[in-house]
Structure 1
Amino acid sequence: MKAQYGILRFKKYKGPAISPIEAHNERTKEQYASNPDIDTSRSRYNLHLVQPQGKYREEADRMIAAHCRVRKDSVRVVEALVTASPEFFKDKNNREIRAYFAYALKFLEGRQCPDTFLSAVVHMDEKTPHLHLCFVPLTPDGRLSAKEIIGNRKNLVKWQDEFWQHMVKQYPELERGESASQTGREHIPPRIFKEMTQLTKQKEQLDALLVGINPFNGKSRAAEISKVLDSYIPNVARMRDQLRKYNVAFTKTAAENEKLKEKNKTLSASLDKAKEGSVLKRLEDAKLRQDYEAALKTLDSIPPEVIRFYEDRSTQEPAMRHDK
């Protein structure tokens, strides 16, 4: 399952740049030679979640004049771009896409007064659907300060954290769309837990097939076990890579962990370390590691003759396909 990211970005605009961004967002030009991704035949599917009441620059100046005086070089408009990985929108219809952006807009309305919004338009005529929300960066006490609203690098990380926390309630498959260097991988996406649940179900299926297996009936069950292993082994390997990606500590193989004899001690140690950070995160990490190691233990319990059958079958099948 490919990762799907929820994305939120910001841009700041001073006076001269406001009209060009309006022309782009509102599709007021007949052609867009500078952006070949725009398919004007699909522009009729674009939709407004917030309808502009006038020209961006004029509306921005009107709002600002009602509250404060500013320098000529002040940031007058901030644009929030909301989208997601292309994979997220695959197979979604227009109603579902609109619902995604409407839910994202609720988050932005909770962080910035909707009265300052100039326009919120969803573009459906480019490769990936996305929302442009333009607003005047007025603070609650009436000052014009994009710096205070958007903030520095640390505050942008907070924006990303809270955006992801909002979106994942409705769309649990989404991951946080920032780099590991910024996030420290604090959030393990729900997708990983779902994949572990599926892996655990496969483990239980294997465990059932392995009950009572012995040298006399091993061959008869080998074919059925091999079918499960076709997906189980790649899934275990993928889970290993995912846990490494999210900095979940675990042993590489059951053999290196002395057949998991120290599993309980390791788990207890991770619970002690919970005091150092997020208790919930540490507990989730420990559970993921425990489930993963249980999956490895099942692999270790497969008799050698079944493994040989699986390996022989795996090497024979490509040759057979090639012969055909």
Structure 2
Amino acid sequence: MSYAVLRMQKIKNPGALGRHIDRSSNGEISIPGNTDKDSIKNNIHWDKDGKSYTQKEWIGYTKENPLSKRISDEVLRRYKLGKKIRKDAVKAVEYIMTSDPFMMNEIFKEKEVYTSWVKDNKLFLENIFGSENIISMHLHLDEKTPHLHAIIVPITKDGRLSCKSFVDGKKDLAQQQTDYAKVMSKYGMKRGEAGSKARHQKTQAVTRNIQNYVSR
């Protein structure tokens, strides 16, 4: 049985992360070395409102809205405390959701299955953070394994920027991995081993049919 892979990292300064997940920089395409150049056009991106974009459309969108701006704008709009945010504060978190190459390519053979997979991933994150905190999602089909990235700004209902309020240490992360595996069990996955790392293998081309499935 394949492993359900869920990885999270905290973001204090997006740096090069935006170029990687957006596949764009200053209105130009940005191509990581581990991608299939001919498959970049198959990537799908979603903004905060759930609107879907082709890779070409997303490059245009991110020229004015790079990841660093998307994060800072969201914090400025919804942060309600009077005190200044620390420079080293966790301003966002990134999640990566995938499995092994064989499993992911099996999922992406059928529209009904892969649209359901994307929806289940989105709902999983909404149940933890709330839909309002997910500021973008990115389906990468240009690497060797299909996978999702999600960028989340951890703002509480009372307007605090607090990653700890949603993910309080390793125990919470471990529980998330357990819960995620339960959601993914319908696709033939089980909980991944502690410390395992997903390796992206070659993917098949997938059409844009999936793009509107997770739109609001």
Q: Does 1:10 align with 2:8?
A: yes
Aligned sequence identity (%)? 28
Distance in 2, matches of 1:103 and 1:154, equals 23
Corresponding residue of 2:39: 42
Q: Distance in 2 between matches of 1:19 and 1:114?
A: 25
1:73-92 aligned within 5 A: 73-91=88-106, 92=108
- 1:141 aligned partner: 158
Measured in 2, the distance between the counterparts of 1:119 and 1:104 equals 13
Question: Any stretches of 5+ residues in structure 2 without a counterpart?
Answer: 52-57, 196-216
User: What secondary structure does 2:166 align onto?
Assistant: helix
Match of 1:151 among 164, 168, 171: 168
Bigger CA radius of gyration: 1
Structure 1 residues 223-262: aligned runs within 5 Å:
none
Q: Quick check: 1:160–1:178 contact (8 Å CA) kept in 2?
A: no
The answer as to whether partners of 1:117 and 1:136 remain within 8 angstroms in 2 is yes
Query: What secondary structure is seen at the aligned counterpart in 2 of 1:9?
Result: strand
Q: Distance in 1 between matches of 2:39 and 2:110?
A: 12
SS of the counterpart of 1:140? coil
Greater RCO (Cα-Cα under 8 Å, separation 6 or more): 2
2:98–2:104 contact (8 Å) kept in structure 1: no
Q: Equivalent residue of 2:24, what SS?
A: coil
Tell me whether 1:93 sits opposite 2:90 in the alignment: no
- Equivalence for 2:209: none
Structure-2 separation of matches of 1:124 and 1:156: 26
CA displacement at 1:58 relative to structure 2 = 2.1
What does 1:1-324 correspond to in 2, within 5 Å?
3-15=1-13, 18-29=14-25, 30-32=29-31, 35-49=32-46, 50-51=50-51, 54-65=65-76, 66-67=78-79, 68=81, 69-91=84-106, 92-93=108-109, 95=111, 96-168=113-185, 170-171=186-187, 173-179=188-194
In 1: Cα distance, 2:150 partner to 2:174 partner: 19
Q: Which amino acid in structure 2 is aligned with residue 20 of structure 1?
A: A
Match of residue 211 from structure 2: none
Which amino acid in the other structure matches residue 168 of structure 2?
G
Provide the C-alpha distance between the structure 2 equivalents of 1:147 and 1:114, rounded to a whole number of angstroms.
18
Letter in 2 for 1:12: K
Q: Deviations over 1:288-312 (max 9, x none)?
A: xxxxxxxxxxxxxxxxxxxxxxxxx
More strand by share: 2
Q: What does the per-residue CA deviation read over 1:172-218, in whole Å, with 9 as the maximum and x for residues that have no partner? A: x21111339xxxxxxxxxxxxxxxxxxxxxxxxxxxxxxxxxxxxxx
The structural deviation recorded for 1:82 is 0.5
**RMSD of aligned residue pairs (Cα, Å):** 2.2
Q: Write the distance in 1 (CA, Å) between the matches of 2:164 and 2:140.
A: 27
Query: What are the superposed Cα offsets for residues 70-98 of structure 1, whole Å, 9 maximum, x if unpaired?
Result: 11111111101000111212343262334
Contact 1:46 1:125 in 2 (8 A): yes
Q: Secondary structure at the match of 2:117?
A: helix
CA separation in 1, counterparts of 2:71 and 2:194? Answer: 33
The residue aligned with 2:203 is none
Structure 1 residue matching 2:158: 3-state secondary structure:
coil
Cα distance in 2, alignment partners of residues 97 and 26 from structure 1: 21
Deviations 1:33-68 (A, max 9, x none): xx4321121011111244588332223222222323
Contact 1:43 1:125 in 2 (8 A): yes
Of 139-148 and 111-120, the range deviating more from structure 2: 139-148
Give the helix-richer structure, 1 or 2.
1
Matched with 1:203 is: none
Q: Quick check: 1:56–1:118 contact (8 Å CA) kept in 2? A: no
The separation in 1 between residues aligned to 2:130 and 2:159, in whole angstroms, is 11
What is the CA distance between 1:13 and its match in structure 2? 1.2
Letter in 1 for 2:143: E
TM-score, scaled to structure 1:
0.49
SS in 2 for 1:6: strand
- In structure 1, list runs of 5 or more residues that go unmatched: 181-324
Equivalent residues of 1:38, 1:126 under 8 A apart: yes
